[in-house]
Amino acid sequence: MNTALWHISSSTTGVYLYSNQTGNVNPCWCVWGSQAMLLLYARDGNTAWLNYAQQNIDWINTYCRNSTNYGYYQYVQEDGTSPTIDYEGVDQAWMQREQVLLSNYK
């Protein structure tokens, strides 16, 4: 997964892409990468997995979140530009869920 979908942005913070063919980031789909990293950490205790999970969430919070209403855009480009104007409840729910899961390790 990290070989195919992990993308290092210009700020050296990484994010999981929705698809390595489109370059889009979608909060719901891309945060699944963080969930996988948390499960790996729970299994072997390697803190690198926590770092991937945190970077992914941080990137999505920076580039996919509307700073006025705090909702997550449905998609942005891998460089953090061109957010859609659409919001979906599933994106909001998955981001909240994943941030709660990550908080268990802080």
Task: Give the tens place of pLDDT for each residue, 29-39.
Answer: 999 999 999 99
How far is residue 66 from each of residues 7, 78, 84, 89, 97, measured CA to CA in Å?
Answer: 21, 16, 11, 14, 18
Q: What confidence tens digit (pLDDT) does each residue in 48-94 have?
A: 999 999 999 999 999 999 999 999 999 999 999 999 999 999 999 99
Q: Could you tell me the pLDDT band of residue 11, with boundaries at 50, 70 and 90?
A: low
In 3D, which of 41, 42, 62, 59 has the Cα closest to residue 50? 41
Q: Could you tell me the pLDDT band of residue 10, with boundaries at 50, 70 and 90?
A: low
CA dihedral of residues 4, 70, 101, 20 (deg, nearest 10): -10
